[in-house]
Every structure is written in structure tokens, then in C-alpha cells.
Amino acid sequence: MAGTQDLSNKEQDSTPQGPKNFIQDIIKDDLQQGKRQGVVTRFPPEPNGFLHIGHLKSIVLNFGLAEKFEGRCHLRFDDTNPVAEDQKYIDAIQQDIKWLGFDWGKHLHFASDYFDDLYNFAVQLIRQGQAFVDDCDGDEIRKMRGALTEPGQNSPYRDRSPEENLDLFERMKNGEFEEGSKVLRAKIDMSSPNMNLRDPLLYRIRKVAHHRTGDKWCIYPLYDFTHGLSDMLEEVTHSICTLEFEDHRPLYEWILQELKTPNEPQQIEFARLGLDYTVMSKRVFLQLVEENLVSGWDDPRMPTIRGMRRRGYTPESMRKFAESVGVTKKNSVISLGTLEHFVREDLDQTCARAMAVLDPIKVTLENFADDKIQMVKGPVHPKDESRGEREIPLTKTLYIDRDDFMEDPPKKYFRLKPDGKVRLRYGYVIHCHEVIKDSDGKVVELKCTYDDRTLGGVTPEGEKKVKGIIHWVSADKGIPATVRVYDRLFNDPNPMGKDKDFRDSLNPESLVMRENAFLEPSLASAKPGDRFQFERLGFFIVDQESTDDAVVINRTITLKDTWAKK
């Protein structure tokens, strides 16, 4: 028999070991030793794209730590590059975070809130002789930076006086110079083994209107300058970043120390989330969308939060997954099956059951009266009796899934076959005695009879118990639907590996359209966002495009991990 109604222990993925969280330990020690009087964290996305699964760990970590230590977590948009930013991303990011179950309260901030402060901090560094205006272009600056094995070279403009730099910086602000003609750089150490300390850029000219400040500014601060000062201004205590910012921490600390700020947040780095069979590159996401390899940023195959939400993943399962992987300093790749385990576990507990036929074959019960409608009963949820029962109409003409019939089956095949018997779920045992095909030899109808002694799982005395149980839908009362059967977007665990083109790893069966599906009538009132387990088939969600006249259903996930042995 293909699958079962509910998840057995064998079908469920093994639960990960208890999570590790060294950052939680650091914060606990800080509070116990009086180093910090409270906890303030922040999640600082750039509003230049949609959130994806790679952001999940940081969201759950930052908001979760604030909740655990009765502090607060800020949502701060790093909106310092107006060329790539858009209000639609700001709106989408807020919606996604709230959908995940987190709220920043009154602490919604933007880096642009601090543009005046940041400009004044830059002026202070110039006055202290620790920043200068450089006329070199980008290529020249890159060449002068040197390499890991050789020191960089000072810019010929490095020794400008503070007065000249102040004048040039103000004129940059006033729009007197063209983009790329001048930048403001910190004056630190061109021989530092840390490349980030080799006179890093602080400001560049961008003559582009900003979504919040309009045309007020034509110079914008870079992230490394903005990040720590924004944290400081918001009185963030623990600035939690992924490991690629570890080499940036000395610059983060240098800026705060040289400016003698009234408080200094502590930057702590952790390993980012990596998943097999998944990409986490905005560049690749954009290519997938622009090349029509997916239907959009919210395509249910996309690892964006919006896509996973549309796929039917639950916020509870995603939070549990993020918590389960722990917080460490070592980068690793987590099995996508681990995430899917939490999704299955949550959906199995919450989803009402129903029957659906995705690829129908007509079944005619010849000894069933033409006008007869018999209501059989099935549980709404077999593990929760309080949810009651649903009534399912049984009629003369039914549909079963094509996968549940085979003309020349192997041994131990327990579904329907010529001159074979099978039990209809919640109904009768039926016997197939005739197979009808079309002119191309495709099976289009099965003529069967039912045994009226077998309702409710009864096996007549003296007869052998029928092992096979299949799902079905009344042809007369079923609801026509389009079912999108989604699977993993990539069939390679490392689609971005060396010398690989991610396109070559696209799974050709990541979307299979079933446009002639039928659903049991209990789903007549289902609305977009409702989730169900289609018995024996998997977990599904009513798509946002679904209407009363055109029902569209998305498969979220199968009942068990079909990739485990691949």
C-alpha cells in the first residue's frame, strides 16, 4: 500500500540534538557580572530584496534572545544605498517577520534616521585627522590596498589637512562633485594585516533620491561606518552578526573608540545557516525570476520566506527548525530534511484530513444504484477526536488515482488490479472485473462491483481480509481543482558547487501540474491559506490565487522524506 494516512515513527526524520547557543551564555555572563544592565538586539536587513531562509536564523536568534532576557529587539533597515532599495521590500520584510511571530513594537528604525548624526561623526573624524577625502577612483584604491601578503600604499591625498578635507567633504555633501570623483576614507593603517583597516571607505557620492530623505543627500555612508554607530545610537547591547563580519569587528570597534561614543555595543559573530539542495544568493534568486525559471519571488519552490509561506510551511515549524540547529562559530550545511521534519511534525498535528484524487481514473460501481448517495464518515483528525467527523458522499461513479491501479502488477501489490479487490477508505471493498481503454490504449475506466457486507472495515466471515486501502472521490460530488505538486527546486545537494551552473541542477519535476484533480466535498468552504493533509498523498495548502470558480491547491510536502535514500 502506498503510504498511510498519518506519520508513523519510521516516516518521521530523526529529531536533531539539543541546540547549542554560546551567545546566550555570553549574554548571561554579561548580565550576571553587571557588564550590561539589559539586553537590546537588532535585526538589520537591507531593503534591496526579499527575506530568504538564510535570514531565518538571524531573525529567530535576535528576537529570541531579546525575548528570553526580557529585553527588546529592533528592526532596523540598512537603507544606505538608494540605488537598490525599494519600499516594496520594506513592506515585505515587515510582513514576513510578523508572519514568523515576532514584533519590534515601537522600535522600527532606519539607518537613514541617523544621516545627520553620521555626517557629524564623519566631520569629527576629519577634525581629529582620522579621515580624508580621496580623489582616487575605485580601481586605483583597489590597487593601492595591496594584498594579504603585501602592505598597501598610501593615497597621494592622504595627507590633506583637516581644513581642506572639511571643505571638500562639505562640497561633496552639497553636490559639487560627480559620482566616483571623490570618497571619504578613514585614516588607519595601510600596512594592517586586516584588509578592512587599510583606510576603508566611509562615504561615497550617489546622486540618487532616497526613499525616505528625498534629494536632501547626495552622499551616503557605507555599511561598516553606519552599522556600529547606528547600534550605538539605539543603545544596542549585543550586535549579533554572521561570521563574514568577524574581520570587520576591529573597524566596528575602532570607529566607536575613536569617536569616544557614550556606549559601545559588543559585536558577536555566529555561523550562518546553510542548507543542502538550496541556494541563498540574491544574484541567483534574481536570475531564477528574470529567466522565468520560477514564477516569481513568492514561487513556492523559492527559499524566500514568502515562497515558503505560499508553499504552506508554518511559522511555528520554521522557528523550531532555526532553534534546533543551534548557534556556533563553525559553518556547516544542515540537511533540508531537518527543516522538512519540523514542517511535517507541525502539519501532522494541526491539519484536517481530506481525500483528493490528483490523476483520476473513473471507477463505476455497477451494482450501486444510479441515484444513490451514501454518506460515509471519516475523522477530521484521527489523533484528535474532539474535532469530530466529516461526511463523504459515496456514489455510483468515483475517481481513484491512476497510481492505485496496475494492469500487470508485481507480487505483493495490494492496490487495485484486474480481477483484484481493494477497500475504499471509509467505504466498501470493491472488485474490478473490467478495464476500459481509449484508442491509444490508456486506461480510462474500471468497471467494478462493491460488497455491501464490508462497510466500516468489516471482513465477512470466512473471507480473506483485503490488505489494500485506497482513497477516492465521488465523480458527481467532487470539487474540480488544479493541484500544483511541488518538490525541491534542485536535485543536487550542492547546486552552487565549484565549476557548476545552478541551472544544470534544476529539478525537472519540481512542479507537476495536475489540472484535472478532484477534492472531496468537505473542502467546498476552504479558502486561501487553509491547510490539509490529503490522505496518503501529503500536506497541501489552498493557494492565494484560488477562487470559488477555480480552486488551486499547492502541495507543501510529502508524508515522508522521499529524498532520504537518494
CATH architecture of the domain with residue range 356-471: Beta Barrel (2.40)
- What pLDDT is attached to residue 545? 96
| Secondary structure of residue 371 in the 3-state scheme | coil
Q: What does each of the 566 residues of the chain score in pLDDT, given as a tens digit?
A: 333 334 333 333 333 444 668 999 999 999 999 999 999 999 999 999 999 999 999 999 999 999 999 999 999 999 999 999 999 999 999 999 999 999 999 999 999 999 999 999 999 999 999 999 999 999 999 999 999 999 999 999 999 999 999 999 999 999 999 999 999 999 999 999 999 999 999 999 999 999 999 999 999 999 999 999 999 999 999 999 999 999 999 999 999 999 999 999 999 999 999 999 999 999 999 999 999 999 999 999 999 999 999 999 999 999 999 999 989 999 889 999 999 999 999 999 999 999 999 999 999 999 999 999 999 999 999 999 999 999 999 999 999 999 999 999 998 899 999 999 999 999 999 999 999 999 999 999 999 999 999 998 999 998 899 999 999 999 999 999 999 999 999 999 999 988 899 999 999 999 999 999 999 999 999 999 999 999 999 999 999 999 999 999 999 999 998 887 66
* Per-residue pLDDT reduced to its tens digit, 296-337: 999 999 999 999 999 999 999 999 999 999 899 998 899 999
- What pLDDT is attached to residue 16? 40
Q: How far apart are CA 443 and CA 359, in angstroms?
A: 12
Region of 324 (left: φ > 0; alpha: ψ -120 to 50; beta: rest) is alpha
Q: How far apart are CA 225 and CA 202, in angstroms?
A: 6
Region of 114 (left: φ > 0; alpha: ψ -120 to 50; beta: rest) is alpha
- What pLDDT is attached to residue 2? 34
The residue assigned the cell 541546540 is 19
- What pLDDT is attached to residue 6? 41
Residue 310 annotated in active site: no
Residue 329 annotated in active site: no
Q: How far apart are CA 242 and CA 239, in angstroms?
A: 10
State how far the alpha carbon of 6 is from the alpha carbons of 2, 311, 342, 486, 534, in Å: 12, 20, 15, 20, 10
CATH architecture of the domain with residue range 282-353+481-557: Beta Barrel (2.40)
CA 466 to chain centre: 43
- What pLDDT is attached to residue 378? 95
- Which has the closest alpha carbon to 226: 260, 252, 197? 252
Q: How far apart are CA 132 and CA 143, in angstroms?
A: 18
Strand 421-424, strand 429-437: pairing: antiparallel
CA 255 to chain centre: 35
- Convert 295-317 into a string of H (helix), E (strand) and C (coil): CCCCCCCCCEHHHHHHHCCCHHH
Looking at 11, 46, 140, 164, which residue is catalytic?
46
- Give the CATH class of 39-270: alpha beta
- Which has the closest alpha carbon to 312: 514, 144, 546? 546
Looking at 212, 282, 425, 447, which residue is catalytic?
282
Q: How far apart are CA 183 and CA 136, in angstroms?
A: 8
Looking at 158, 206, 272, 425, which residue is catalytic?
272
For the chain, what are the domain ranges?
Answer: 39-270, 282-353+481-557, 356-471
Structure-block grid coordinates of residue 521: 466535498
Q: Which residues contact 463 (CB under 8 A, 6 or more apart)?
A: none
- Convert 496-561 into a string of H (helix), E (strand) and C (coil): CCCCCCHHHHECCCCEEEEEEEEECHHHCCCCCCCEEEECCCEEEEECCCCCCCCCEEEEEECCCC
- Convert 402-418 into a string of H (helix), E (strand) and C (coil): HHHECCCCCCCCCCECC
For residue 450, give the amino acid letter.
Answer: Y
Residue 46 annotated in active site: yes
Q: How far apart are CA 109 and CA 387, in angstroms?
A: 44
Same fold, 39-270 and 356-471: no
- What pLDDT is attached to residue 566? 63
State how far the alpha carbon of 558 is from the alpha carbons of 353, 392, 535, 538, in Å: 14, 23, 10, 4
- What pLDDT is attached to residue 456? 86
- What pLDDT is attached to residue 19? 64
